[in-house]
Chains A and B, each alone.
Chain A
């Protein structure tokens, strides 16, 4: 059986290529039909803020790629509820509707459930 991999994405979308490169690992895993999960933690939750304008910084729109996750077979999407609250984001207005909000305890259980973890 294939090993499951959890990617924990902790970087804001505008701090360099980090967030995109974390997402690329997820998309590649999805393309290979691997059991893969993605958790947005700390500043990573800013990737899910609504109404961001990538063009203002001459960047590509990361949220378009995030929307494509289910199409790549990545349906295990999670977001840290505490990180969202700390950063003043509206948990009902995140750009990834399928992402499930998790408490710290649930994140502990999530990490435990996966075979491997990469925190970026």
Chain B
């Protein structure tokens, strides 16, 4: 069983990313959307943490573009059709509301 975790809050001043990384499983993936894509801002603690973890990481392309965040080459940009396919591919989706 694998879970697609979805985050949409900024990692700065919010503990969702930290909690999510604590419980995310080896077969799981993480999709960053909304302000959560700020985690891909180079030179920051969240960026370093995510890079070091080496988990399957996706970012919603429109949110990254809107925020002028470049998606690192160890993450994958997705659009909505790809978001849908990710949710089909994984057994469940856990959105951290």
Contact = CB atoms under 8 A, between A and B. Distances in A.
Whether A and B are associated in the same complex: the answer reads: yes
B48 interface: no
Given A82-B22, A104-B22, A111 B3 contact: yes
For chain A, give the interface size range.
Answer: 10 to 19
Interface in B16-64: 19, 22-25
B94 A119 contact: yes
The DSSP consensus for interface residues of chain A is mixed
Interface in A1-34: 8, 10
Contacts, number: 37
A40 to B, nearest CB: 12
Nearest to B19: A42
The DSSP consensus for interface residues of chain B is mixed
B96 interface: yes
B80 to A, nearest CB: 21
A120 interface: yes
Given A42-B15, A104-B22, A112 B3 contact: yes
Interface residues of B, number: 15
B66 interface: no
B15 A111 contact: no
Q: Which interface residue of A42, A82, A107, A119 has the most chain B CB atoms within 10 A?
A: A119
A113 B91 CA distance: 11
Interface of B: 1, 3, 15, 19, 22-25, 91-97
30 contacts: A8-B94, A10-B19, A10-B96, A41-B19, A42-B15, A42-B19, A82-B22, A104-B22, A107-B22, A107-B23, A108-B23, A108-B24, A111-B3, A111-B25, A112-B1, A112-B3, A112-B25, A113-B1, A114-B92, A115-B92, A116-B92, A117-B92, A117-B93, A117-B94, A118-B95, A118-B97, A119-B94, A119-B95, A119-B96, A120-B97
Interface of A: 8, 10, 41-42, 82, 104, 107-108, 111-120
